[in-house]
Structure 1
């Protein structure tokens, strides 16, 4: 998908809280919104080169969203609103193996006590619930999720197990918001309960997908599957 707004390169300075950061843009200190509640500590380091997306909304407190970070000449997109849009595009373009047969794509659908990112169906009456998780933590070509504890993420996995037991298709897709990745694993040291729930989901028939992306300053698109190590 293309980013149809102006994008600027700036220098990261500090992040006083989850939602705001200070950057240097055109030699001026500017406050920006961070659309990612994860820690991103290994990415948002002092002096790192970051990408800002201009948001011309008069009701906003800030003029820019911090959407990406350069790490060793690789762009990592950190916008938590992007994964669902990228996956929606990929589903429509039949790029996700195992989900090609679903031609009806609905967003934000409720099952039991959870709202899943997608409900997929087709003309044969088959239904499938899909949850998407954006991945930004990488170390030596290996990615892990989550980079902060997520009780909500664990709950989603348990609801996917329930959907599977009730006869629906169910899956979780980890969208890795960068390229050239070797594998994806649960980050057990960060959230052991999530890792246990992911393995339980897999052992109960829930599909686990992982795809990396091609990322540029003004685009991000799902590219190829990545090995999953549970």
Structure 2
């Protein structure tokens, strides 16, 4: 998918809280919005090169969103609103082979006590619930999730298990918001409970997907599957 707004290159300086950061753009220090509540400490380093998306809205406090950062030569998208849009596009263009039989794609559907990112179905009456998680943490080609503890993420996995038990299809897709990676794993050192829940989900028939992306300064699209190491 193309990013249909103007994108600017800037220098990251600091991030005083989860939602705001300071950058230098054309020699001027500006405050920008960070559309990601994860820590991102290993990439949002003072002096790093970042991408800003212009958001012209008179009700906003800031003019820009900080949407991506260069880690050496690797561009990592960190916009938490992007994964669902990328997966929506991939589902409609049949880029996820295991899910091609579903031609009805619905967003934000409730099952039990959770709101899943997608409900997929077809004319045969088959239904499938899919949750999407964006991945931005990478070390030497190994990507992991989450980069901060997530009780909500564990809850989603347990609800996917319940949907599977009730006869529905169920899966979680980890969208790795960068290219050229080797593997994906749960980040047990960050959140052991999430890792245990992910393995429990897998053992109960929940599908686990991991896909990397092609990421450019004005585009991001789902690319190819990545080895999963649980």
TM-score tier, shorter chain, comes to over 0.9
Structure 2 stretches lacking a partner, 5+ long: none
Distance 2:100 2:182 in 1: 24
Structure 1 stretches lacking a partner, 5+ long: none
- Count matched residues: 230
Partner of 1:28 in structure 2? Answer: 28
Distance 1:141 1:14 in 2: 26
TM value normalised by structure 2: 1.00
Partner of 2:207 in structure 1? Answer: 207
How far is the alpha carbon of 1:97 from its aligned partner? Answer: 1.5
Alignment of 1:182-197 (within 5 A): 182-197=182-197
Distance 1:74 1:197 in 2: 30
How far is the alpha carbon of 1:155 from its aligned partner? Answer: 0.1
Partner of 2:180 in structure 1? Answer: 180
How far is the alpha carbon of 1:73 from its aligned partner? Answer: 1.1
Distance 1:65 1:173 in 2: 25
Partner of 2:129 in structure 1? Answer: 129
How far is the alpha carbon of 1:42 from its aligned partner? Answer: 0.3
Distance 1:98 1:4 in 2: 30
Q: Which runs of 4+ in 1 moved over 6 A?
A: none
Distance 2:184 2:25 in 1: 34
- CA RMSD between the two structures: 0.3
* 1:79 partnered with 2:63: no
Partner of 2:113 in structure 1? Answer: 113
Give the secondary structure class of the aligned counterpart of 2:99. coil
How far is the alpha carbon of 1:72 from its aligned partner? Answer: 1.3
Partner of 1:17 in structure 2? Answer: 17
Distance 2:194 2:140 in 1: 22
Distance 1:76 1:128 in 2: 29
How far is the alpha carbon of 1:153 from its aligned partner? Answer: 0.2
Distance 1:45 1:24 in 2: 13
